[in-house]
Structure 1
């Protein structure tokens, strides 16, 4: 049963480590740490993807900056209480990780597959340049009655298709994880730069229940 549940949320990431380990939290004596990885896009840009890694998988006292790593796991979310609001925090929960040789190129440097349920009415819009976009929020089940809430963004004809989806609809998607910088207004005089993470959808399948 557990393995079947893990099948509905699959991620593979490969790229250059660009941060040191940062302590996140502890579960039953097992420490978890965050590590940022730079993953190249097909264009000249890149995404910075946060990985959540157990101290039992890799030596978290070492500095791996500049090394190429490959990791597989799941894209997970949790709510962090911040300024009287809940903020959705996303990271790749790593199940396997390895340090690669210099020059290594993965066949799946940024791959994600999700099988879940639409939990918010899709929002269809157009950019100032006329590009069609639909924002989706997918609830993906995991063991013990928990779910991960994953923001997804689809484009073009997929966006037009997604606009018609209803809350509760069963959806499978394939794509990549992307990071996006935005500015959050803190006060009348203060603006803070933040990073949002979402799944850029390359293929989707709506399942008729």
Structure 2
């Protein structure tokens, strides 16, 4: 894989494994499995983030629940077909994994860098309390003509700055991966709780198209 392509999407998380492995898919005889990791925030909350791990990287038949790991890889997306609709699924594709016995520096538990392109007009809004937010969808290129579509969220001055981005603009983002629960209305009488994953932006740079 091109080193340049790896450099445009880098994520590093440290957290506690909170699930077993579930089979995802197989490519050329190599099985990939999903496992969830709880990554602490400084606020004492935790983000539960899905990792996609090759069976050649870890023994997926073992139970690692409660172990602390560092996972290094890329934040990736794929479309899952649900009836007539597509749902964007996100996970960290793990390239390296390390078990950790002791960890104290919680400022470095969750870091991501993305270098991609704005693929739809950012949505700028204010919360009822007046906090400024802008939602961004970033297309990050992968080899063989593929791209990952990563939802990102910015706040305050960054949100105002992002609201002026044009489709096609190249943007570099630094931040953290976060999980967020929301309620999806399926019909007039039926709702379902779901979890969305996105990048919370701490710093960004834009290079106009």
TM bracket, shorter-chain basis = over 0.9
Offset at residue 102 of structure 1 (A): 3.9
Report the secondary structure of 1:166's partner residue: coil
Offset at residue 188 of structure 1 (A): 2.2
Which residue does the alignment assign to 2:194?
A: 194
Which residue does the alignment assign to 1:142?
A: 142
Could you say if the C-alpha distance between residues 65 and 105 of structure 1 is closer, same or farther in structure 2, counting changes exceeding 3 Å? farther
Question: Where do 5+ consecutive residues of structure 1 fail to align?
Answer: none
1:132-180 Cα offsets, whole Å, 9 max, x none, are 0000000000100000000000000000000000000000000000000
Whether contact under 8 Å (2:77, 2:148) holds in the other structure is yes
Please say if 1:42 is aligned against 2:42: yes
Query: TM-score normalized by structure 1?
Result: 0.97
Report the secondary structure of 1:63's partner residue: coil
Cα separation, 1, equivalents of 2:132 and 2:107? 29
- Output aligned runs, 1:13-162, within 5 Å: 13-103=13-103, 105=105, 108-162=108-162
Could you say if the C-alpha distance between residues 103 and 173 of structure 1 is closer, same or farther in structure 2, counting changes exceeding 3 Å? closer
RMSD: 1.2
Report the secondary structure of 2:157's partner residue: helix
Could you say if the C-alpha distance between residues 105 and 67 of structure 1 is closer, same or farther in structure 2, counting changes exceeding 3 Å? farther
Offset at residue 100 of structure 1 (A): 1.1
Query: TM-score normalized by structure 2?
Result: 0.97
Whether contact under 8 Å (1:67, 1:102) holds in the other structure is no
Aligned length in residues: 209
Offset at residue 23 of structure 1 (A): 0.5
Whether contact under 8 Å (2:42, 2:107) holds in the other structure is no
Report the secondary structure of 2:51's partner residue: strand
Question: Where do 5+ consecutive residues of structure 2 fail to align?
Answer: none
Report the secondary structure of 1:43's partner residue: coil
